[in-house]
Amino acid sequence: MTSVQVFILTHENVLVVQRRVLRQQTDIFALPDSKFENYFRINKDCFQDVLKEISPKLKSGRRSLALRPEIKLATALIFLAQGSYQTSVGNDFNISIAQLTVSVVLKEILEACEATICCKWIKASMTEEEKNSAKEYFFTNSGIPGVIGCVDGTHIKIISPGRNDANMYFNRKGFYSLNTMVVCDHKMKIRYFDARYGGSAHDSLVWNVSGMKRLLQERYDAGERNSWLLGDAGYPLEPFLMTPYRSTTEGSRESNFNSKHAKARNIVERTIGLLKSRFRCLLGARELHYSPIKAAVIANVCVALHNMCMDFEEEHLDDIENIIMQERNYQEDVEGAYSTEASQIRNNIRDNLF
Q: How confident is the model at residue 97 (pLDDT cuts 50, 70, 90)?
A: confident
pLDDT at 22: 37
Lowest mean pLDDT among 42-51, 206-215, 246-255, 280-289: 280-289
Mean pLDDT of 301-317: 86
**Interval 27-51: pLDDT, tens:** 899 999 999 998 899 999 999 999 9
Report whether 268 contacts 234 (CB < 8 A): no
Strands 177-184 and 147-157: what pairing? antiparallel
Report whether 78 contacts 112 (CB < 8 A): no
In whole angstroms, what is the distance from residue 286 CA to residue 9 CA? 33
pLDDT at 36: 92
Higher pLDDT, 43 or 86: 43
Residue 8 has pLDDT above 70, yes or no: no
pLDDT at 139: 98
pLDDT at 3: 44
Contacts of 200 (CB under 8 A, 6+ apart): 167, 168, 169, 170, 171, 172, 179
Q: Where are the domains of the chain?
A: 3-115, 124-351
Tell me the chain's radius of gyration from C-alpha atoms.
23
Residue 89 has pLDDT above 60, yes or no: no
pTM of the model: 0.86
pLDDT at 91: 53
What are the Cα distances from residue 186, in Å, to 149, 207, 226, 271?
6, 20, 17, 10
Higher pLDDT, 7 or 33: 33
pLDDT at 321: 65
Closest CA relative to residue 329, chosen from 232, 196, 191 = 232
Strands 228-230 and 190-194: what pairing? unpaired
Q: How confident is the model at residue 189 (pLDDT cuts 50, 70, 90)?
A: very high
Q: How confident is the model at residue 162 (pLDDT cuts 50, 70, 90)?
A: confident
Higher pLDDT, 190 or 85: 190
Which residue type is seen at 166? A
Conformational region of residue 247, where left means phi above 0, alpha means psi within -120 to 50, and beta covers everything else = left
Strands 241-242 and 177-184: what pairing? unpaired
Residue 93 has pLDDT above 70, yes or no: no
Which residue type is seen at 195? A
Q: How confident is the model at residue 264 (pLDDT cuts 50, 70, 90)?
A: very high
For the chain, percent of residues with pLDDT exceeding 90: 71
**Interval 60-76: pLDDT, tens:** 765 434 789 999 999 99
Q: What's 247's DSSP letter?
A: S
Closest CA relative to residue 196, chosen from 311, 123, 293, 60 = 293
Mean pLDDT of 9-26: 40
Higher pLDDT, 325 or 49: 49
Mean pLDDT of 138-154: 98
- Averaged pLDDT of the chain: 86
In whole angstroms, what is the distance from residue 233 CA to residue 332 CA? 7
Contacts of 68 (CB under 8 A, 6+ apart): 23
Length of the chain counted residue by residue = 354
**Interval 106-125: pLDDT, tens:** 999 999 999 999 999 999 99
